[in-house]
Structure 1
């Protein structure tokens, strides 16, 4: 006689998938290009009506700047889901991508770096043309 596997682990796995789907409204791609080591900081705005996970992300980034992968680890969520939530928070102004000053680098170059980072954040699908 063969024993049947317990339905409890399958139910937990299915619940986790449904939860991630609900958190991201079924989206699997963030609007912004975010890498695992992308550092995030608290943004200038505090939107209302955020889901609990988004509030937790904002609170963590308020304590100190944190990389995307660290946020995913603390929340215990898949990095893709956290990327989608973070992208929404960047759009809402709750999070930002800080650009640190490099000692000895020209101020104009730092300004251009900040401007480039801001434009990439605002227009992630834009194509750059060299020359």
Structure 2
């Protein structure tokens, strides 16, 4: 069995060797309210409690403001599991979290919609 070096507990043939919810201790509800677009950032404080390797990997991704969705993608974990991990780090003071800022009505901004459409056309 060859274990890949690009992620935690991954195998080329079998995929993830542990269940995602094992990472969060079976918890499915974070103690901190986090949206997929919430930005988290490391505070520089190291957690005093022993946390798992996924917590360390998540913390390493948060040197600058990073979205929950981006961290979930890098960790290759479901968003809800990632939210639990990040919530643990917020609770112990290693991360700060900021809710996304929504405009009153983002669909009214024609220039934003045109920019998104142009970007999609370039990708296709």
Deviation (angstroms), 1:44: 4.5
- CA deviations over 1:28-57 (Å, ceiling 9, x no partner): 111111100000011242015321111111
TM-score (norm 2): 0.61
Superposed CA RMSD:
2.0
Query: Equivalent residues in 2 for 1:30-41 (5 A)?
Result: 30-41=30-41
Look at both structures and tell me which one has the larger radius of gyration over its CA atoms: 1
Looking at secondary structure, tell me which structure has more helix per residue: 1
Q: Which residue of 2 aligns with 1:46?
A: 46
Unaligned segments of structure 1, at least 5 residues: 1-11, 100-131
Report the Cα distance in structure 2 between the residues aligned to 1:97 and 1:80, rounded to whole angstroms. 16
How many residue pairs align between the two structures? 85
Alignment of 1:86 onto 2:86: yes
Structure 1 segments, 4+ long, off by >6 Å, are none
Looking at secondary structure, tell me which structure has more strand per residue: 2
Report if aligned partners of 1:21, 1:27 keep a CA contact under 8 Å in 2. yes
Q: Which residue of 2 aligns with 1:71?
A: 71
